[in-house]
Each structure stands twice: as C-alpha cells, then as structure tokens.
Amino acid sequence: LPKDADITNMEKRGSIFTRQFIIEFTSSKSEIKNWILKSKGFKGVEPEIKDGTKIYEIHPKDLESYGGRVKIKGNTVYINMSWS
C-alpha cells in the first residue's frame, strides 16, 4: 500500500481453501500513482473508467492467486482480491 495510506475498512473472508481480502483506504493522489507504478499486478493493465472511477482487473500470472479488482475514485482506493 502507499506510504501514507489511511485504511478505513479491512475485511478478511474465506476458509482453509480460499482467502478474500477487501481493503478500503485513502491516500494522496501522488502516492496512489507511485503505488500503481511499483506494483507488479498493475503492469500492462489499462483501467476501465466508469463515472470517474478507474477500475483495474488484476490477475497476476506469477502469483498463486485468482486476482480481483481495484477501484480508484479520487484519493480513495477499494481493493477486492481473492487467493486460493
């Protein structure tokens, strides 16, 4: 997460076979931009933009995960990722 991230919500769901993490945080726009540039999961992913919200579908190839979705609106980020 960005250095100045302020986590406003965090949930962990799942069982012994799966894990789902839902995180919401706020951060400065410059730190969010740096976080996106440094994160492997965003490489080569173009966001869909709906009503001012950038939506990234993240499906890492080199990690053992299903992937998920990252939504960014202003300085608020919503992450919903699942692993198996």
pLDDT at residue 41, rounded to an integer: 84
Give residue 59's identity as a one-letter amino acid code. Answer: H
SS3 state at 74 = coil
SS3 state at 33 = helix
What is the per-residue pLDDT across 30-67, written as a single tens digit (0 to 9) for each? 999 999 999 988 888 999 999 999 999 988 766 656 78
What is the model's pTM?
0.87
The larger pLDDT score, comparing residue 75 to residue 43, is at: 75
The CA distance from 4 to 22, in Å, is 18
SS3 state at 37 = helix
Count of C-beta atoms within a 10 Å radius of residue 57: 12
The CA distance from 38 to 36, in Å, is 6
pLDDT at residue 67, rounded to an integer: 86
